[in-house]
Amino acid sequence: HKPQPKGMREDCFYTLTLSATPTGPYAWTKFGTLFKYDRAKEEWAEVKTTGEKLVGTACDASGMCYDSKRDRLILTHNGFKGDLVAIDLKTATASKLAPKGMAVAEKGGLFTRESVYIPEQDMVVVTTVAKNKTGAPDPWPVYDCAKNAWVMIDIGGPNASSCGAGLMYDPSANLLLMVDPSSYVYALHLDTKTAKAAE
């Protein structure tokens, strides 16, 4: 593609945060700016947001995912206190989300770089620092979009806290996928009915 615009070009792989959407990818920078890739022009263009001022990204502390039900981006950020930021892509308006259970989420050990929206559950999963090293279930704070609330779900398996971990969602299989620093791939089918999400 053509050269990145100023502000995006000066960022680096530690902090430049990307999210795919049906109309093209968005990039969020350490300067608190948002860019979108124009496929037809093969170039990035800045998106001027209104409302809440976007903070800059920080290494391993900022994540961004696409909420397909509401056509918005959901951002985790440095200085996370259980709060989130949403950007309405129709209006480019940013707003703060103050979900119920913010204090629980903040203490839940979230590793806020990796976040994924799961449409079937209408929830955002953020990687966490697992406390149990045996693979037994740990309570993870998961963001319930419809309720605007954090809920606790017991999730077993590997520690997802490493800065080398990657998280993504496979819609065709309805699976959350994680790769760890040793290149092992883990799959999770999240079903809140059987997982018994607690307030």
**pTM of the predicted model over 0.85:** yes
Biggest alpha carbon distance in the chain? Answer: 51
- The answer to whether residue 112 scores a pLDDT higher than 70 is yes
- Strand-pairing partners, residue 44, are 37
> Which pLDDT value is given to residue 158?
65
Task: Determine whether 4 is exposed, middle or buried from the number of CB atoms within 10 Å of its CB (0-12, 13-18, 19+).
Answer: middle
Task: Determine whether 79 is exposed, middle or buried from the number of CB atoms within 10 Å of its CB (0-12, 13-18, 19+).
Answer: exposed
> Which pLDDT value is given to residue 137?
72
% of the chain surpassing 70 pLDDT: 93
Q: How far apart are CA 108 and CA 73, in angstroms?
A: 22
> Which pLDDT value is given to residue 162?
66
Share the mean pLDDT of the chain: 89
pLDDT tier for residue 86 given thresholds of 50, 70 and 90: very high
pLDDT tens digits for range 27-55: 999 999 999 999 999 999 999 999 999 99
- The answer to whether residue 130 scores a pLDDT higher than 70 is no
> Which pLDDT value is given to residue 116?
95
Q: Can you give the chain as a three-state secondary structure string?
A: CCCCCCCCCCCCCCCCEEECCCCCCEEECCCCCEEEEECCCCEEEEECCEECCCCCCCCCCCEEEEECCCCEEEEECCCCCCCEEEEECCCCEEEEECCECHHHHHHCCEEEEEEEEECCCCEEEEEECCCCCCCCCEEEEEEECCCCEEEEEEECCCCCCCCCCEEEEECCCCEEEEECCCCCEEEECCCHHHHCCEC
Least confident stretch, 114-118, 132-136, 151-155: 132-136
pLDDT tens digits for range 147-169: 999 998 888 776 666 677 889 99
Mean pLDDT of 135-147: 84
Cβ-contact 141, 154 below 8 angstroms: no
